Chains A and B, each alone.
Chain A
Amino acid sequence: MTGLKKFLFPLIVLTAVVLTGVTTQARAASKAIILATTTSTQDSGLLDVLIPAFEKESGYAVKTIAVGSGQAMAMGKKGEADVLLVHSPDAEKKFIEEGAGINRRLVMHNDFVIVGHPGDPAKIRGSKTSAEAIRKIAQANALFLSRGDNSGTHAKEKGLWKAAGIIPEGQKWYQQTGLGMGQTLNVAAEKKGYTLADRGTYLSLKKTLGLGILVEGDPLLLNIYHVIEVNPAKWPKVNAAGAKAFADFMVSKKVQEIIGKFGVDKFGAPLFFPDAGKKVESLGL
């Protein structure tokens, strides 16, 4: 039955080829590290610049998993990531206290801004503090879009509500998207609502959004990124050397310079400010 052989033979050969491919790939994986980070670092394009440079320099292959800060730390707690680049300071401190991570180092910051439709129905423009601004939003029952995804931005936003003494959950004007920063900004633009965004992502999306910065400059709105190595004592499968190499790379002088210049050519201003070696307090908190 030559016709049947013709039909089956390629299938069998291909399966064999695939399976060999699978095993070789598995072997190559030990030179890989998993970086769990926030969508903002990926969406701003910063990692597209830094990761190839690190890979070239160190020989490690980086698997960047861009999720919210909350999920990134959840992966770290299970030992499913090697190194984290996150921006949710309170949760990070808890993460370190629990012994899930080591060597938390300041990398950079930018800041959050409250953005909204230029029409500004709640009249928050000119508010002195972020707390005042969001109180106005609540009083005006103006639509506010929350990430609602346990990301660093979401954590920051919850902190703002807490500081203002308002419980927004369950209010009609308060909607949670459950999406990343870029998509939440898109939703806010479509629905003409307010939202809290990191400046980097906002700037990179500005051209298509039609949203304006209404409140900025409040020390509470600082967005601080730390690099954390997942504790190898707790999770023996963690690639400790790779994680350390990446963390060292991020705070190195050369990379800090790159960070300081990133975005200048495109937006006229840097998206991030390098902070390696500084104390958090010196940022004006």
Chain B
Amino acid sequence: MDLFWEGIAKAVALLAALDREVLAITWLSLKVSGIATLISLVIGISSGTLLALSDFPGKRLVISIVNTGMGLPPVVVGLFVTIFLWRNGPFGFLEILYTPTAMIIAQSIIATPIVTGITVASIHNLPPNLKLQILALGATRWQMVLILIREARLPLLAGVMAGFGGVISEVGASIMVGGNIKGYSRVLTTATVMETSRGNFDVAIALSLILLLLCFAVNYVLTRIQHRKRPR
């Protein structure tokens, strides 16, 4: 337990000193996972809405696949993204393996099914006649879709949280496609793994605490938005 308290003390010290490396790692974590979440929102909300509103044979199968994808193991994603981005792989010409861009791609792939699945569920949870009601107010199909998404915004925010929480805390894919390169692609989780293996448990604990704080802060802000004061 001494180690734990030392870790806390070290964390506070690192934070108080605004250690440049720690700040850079924290900022990169936020940036990579934030952008990945945004990309997954754009793809996930649009494809989820399309999926929820359309009717075609095999729809249940597709939804099952998406729901399975919500639990996509990050290392599996990391492995496949690595294979695709290898210099001599199909997308090798992009030369983005071991870059934050590759991490964003991998994390987007992890988060997209989460956002898609939650979008499908949120839209399905709206009253069945709501779609007809919106059309009956004169909306075009596009306007209807936008209004439906707006109506599902609260559960969708939960999707944002789940997506962001999933990617900022994953390590498998980030270390495989990012390489944990110092000052370049090192994020909180990969740095924590490395510091642990180096035996620098105090630094590892400090980084973990920052990660926890970050997750908490983001979720707190989103929860506040969810519960923000409505009109009287």
Contact = CB atoms under 8 A, between A and B. Distances in A.
Chains A and B share a contact (CB less than 8 Å): yes
Interface of A: 1, 3-4, 7-8, 11-12, 14-15, 18, 21-22, 25-26, 29-30, 32, 34, 39, 42-43, 45, 47-48, 51-52, 61-66, 78-80, 179-183, 185-186, 204-205, 207-209, 235, 237-238
Interface of B: 3, 35, 38-39, 41-42, 86-88, 92, 94-101, 104, 143, 146-147, 149-150, 153, 179-185, 194, 196-199, 201
Given A235-B88, A237-B92, A18 B38 contact: yes
A62 B198 CA distance: 21
Given A25-B101, A26-B95, A208 B199 contact: yes
Interface centre among B95, B147, B184 (most CB of A within 10 A): B95
A14 B92 CA distance: 25
B88 A78 contact: yes
Contacts of A21: 101
Given A42-B194, A180-B197, A235-B87, 13 more contacts: A7-B149, A14-B35, A15-B38, A18-B35, A18-B39, A22-B96, A22-B101, A29-B99, A48-B182, A51-B182, A78-B86, A182-B198, A186-B199
Contacts of B185: 63
Mostly helix, strand, loop or mixed at chain B's interface?
A: helix
A34 B185 CA distance: 13
B182 A64 contact: yes
A183 B200 CA distance: 11
B182 A182 contact: no
Nearest to A34: B98
A34 B30 CA distance: 25
B197 A18 contact: no
Contact of B199 (A1, A39, A182): A182
Contacts of B38: 11, 14-15, 18
Contacts of B197: 39, 43, 179-183, 186
Which 3 pairs between the two chains have the least Cβ-Cβ distance?
A: A182-B197, A205-B199, A29-B95
